[in-house]
Copies of this chain bind each other. A is one copy, B any other.
């Protein structure tokens, strides 16, 4: 029946699909060598030239300061990128969650500091099993019960585990500075199966303050109580070989913090709309220390009302609800909304030309970390060509 119908078809339509045996691409690796504009969208892309520039820029800027780089992999969740960061001179990487740390250590990234805490028996055990297999694993703690449980687990598994104490810089994570922090550090130091290596102090709220001078003033003030507690720890004879913190917004202002050892930059590799607008040392309006390498390709799927709205196939499942919204490259007057799960809605303003259904737009993402966490692969782009496919093996590893 279908076949008869087909034979009746005639040749009324153009021969756009001339070769009946042509196969559609389905495996990510099959895209290598093709133009990025052919990718099926939404597609997560990284410009490799820009990525490589960002990878070295942070080391170049910190050269001579004595401050090292310990990139945070929560941003990219990709062991291949973590290995590139190690090769570029990182002292190790940070991971937020246990399953993220496991993914890194089991995929050729030897030095992982877990900045988040594990508080349940199951996770503490898994962390110590990870330590048994991978001597480069360092675990953060921020309370006494957890430190005692960690000691028990380390002893049960026959390891001496490296530990850092996470300090409370703002009310979210960490042990309060002063006596509570000092006591916790001393408890860890005295625990026979734990080795106290130092402290973490992440100042989250300062990262996105606009203006370099304002940001610097704020973060130095926020870190002052940590510095004071660190001095008490040193006076108490504790080992402070690690004093890790900062992020992409504050990486270049830590030489004002006594004893500080390394920056936990994450977004510097990719950049995003949130970081672009904070301004830097060289330009107070646009943060230019790093180039926006990460983009999403989206296809226009509806243009019924082209002077008002263009609709794309990239909504909140492709770009998240983070603000500020995605920026359409080449069209500064376009306002992108990813409020719909499956659709992007662009309010058209000052278009440089007319757009039609089927055309592909490239956007800078609102906030890189949660956007990357939506995709299984990241396409590595050189020029306009797909050069590599980077599996995001830590995607969804929020446990």
Contacts and interface: CB of A to CB of B under 8 A. Distances in A.
Contacts of A43: 399
A399 B6 contact: no
A97 interface: yes
A94 to B, nearest CB: 12
Nearest to A157: B20
A9 B156 CA distance: 11
Contacts of A151: 13
A17 B125 contact: yes
A142 B302 contact: yes
B172 A13 contact: no
A370 interface: yes
Given A152-B13, A399-B43, A370 B317 contact: yes
Contacts of A189: none
Interface stretch (A218-226, A242-250, A341-349): A341-349
A353 interface: no
Interface stretch (A34-42, A81-89, A231-239): A34-42
A93 to B, nearest CB: 16
Interface residues of A, number: 104
B399 A41 contact: yes
Interface stretch (A63-71, A308-316, A382-390): A308-316
B13 A304 contact: no
Contacts of A117: 301-302
A122 B6 contact: no
Interface string A156-194: 111110000000100111111000000000000001110
The 8 closest A-B CB pairs, nearest first, are A9-B192, A24-B126, A17-B156, A321-B321, A40-B399, A16-B152, A2-B160, A20-B156
29 contacts: A3-B158, A5-B193, A9-B155, A9-B192, A13-B152, A16-B152, A17-B125, A18-B156, A19-B156, A22-B156, A38-B122, A40-B120, A41-B399, A116-B313, A119-B358, A120-B299, A142-B302, A143-B357, A145-B358, A172-B311, A173-B343, A174-B302, A174-B304, A176-B304, A313-B398, A318-B398, A320-B320, A321-B322, A374-B398
Given A5-B193, A10-B192, A15-B152, 13 more contacts: A3-B158, A5-B195, A6-B159, A14-B148, A17-B149, A40-B120, A40-B123, A43-B399, A119-B358, A172-B311, A172-B340, A313-B398, A374-B374
